[in-house]
Amino acid sequence: MLLSCPPRRAPRLALGAVLLALACGVSAQRVYKSVAADGKVTFSDQPVPGQQGVPARTTWAAAATAPTAQAAAGPGQALARSLTSLQGVDHLVNAAEQLCNATLPDSMKKYALAGAGWRERHRLLLERRDAIVARTLSPRQRAELRDAGRADARRVTGPVLTATAVQRAQWCDKNAAHIEAGQLDRHQDPEVAGPLLAWQGASR
């Protein structure tokens, strides 16, 4: 899907706008990728013999950080914490995928597979989250939960947005490996999965 750059206007604080700005960066650097005999991948801003440079987008400016309200505990404090935690990781996985796709388009399939694997492992929890949000939260609480998730993702991706192209490429590869290895998984965390799976409204 093609992304079109928005017209210039007052900056918005939403993470999506920051990532769109990243995808529509006004200039591009080149990142050189090399694979050692042992399979280790490294990135550099210097040409590597036998390797072609991979275009890497640059960002217009550092990500803005918006004040975020705490997610309201309408369905109960434990459930609210569970919702907020899952929402934060979900936003992070999706934001990282968009950021890394814009940074290294040639590796888009790898980042997409990492994100798809995380979502499949958390499919039941994500479905339960959506049901709880739809049935128990007010519009204001839904907005607060969404903003809390975006803020959690921003705390991780914000420094990456201001890094060099090589640093972003390195971060993207490490982050994809972490996701594939389950380091961002929450479906087996009792403090996250427990309240969601125990929610009594699931059978209504």
The band of 67, judged by pLDDT with boundaries at 50, 70 and 90, is very low
If you ran DSSP here, which 8-state letter would residue 41 be given? E
AA identity, residue 65: T
Strand order through the sheet with 28-35: 41-44, 28-35, 53-57
pLDDT at position 1 over 50: no
Q: Kindly report which listed range (22-26, 36-40, 55-59, 62-66) carries the lowest average pLDDT score.
A: 62-66
Question: Residue 38: what pLDDT?
Answer: 72
* Among 98, 89, 104, residue whose Cα is nearest residue 183: 89
CA–CA separation, 192 and 82 (whole Å): 4
What is the length of the chain? 204
CA distances from 160 to 31, 38, 68, 99, 180 (A): 15, 27, 20, 9, 20
Reported as a single tens digit per residue, the pLDDT across 170-192 is 999 999 999 999 999 999 999 99
- d(CA 150, CA 139) in angstroms, rounded, equals 17
pLDDT of residue 113: 95
**pLDDT number for residue 34:** 67
Mean pLDDT of the chain: 73
Tally DSSP H helices, then E strands, for the chain.
7, 3
pLDDT tens per residue, range 87-124: 999 999 999 999 999 998 888 899 999 999 999 999 99
Angle, helices 139-161/15-23, rounded to nearest 10 degrees: 40
> Is the pLDDT confidence value at 44 over 90?
no
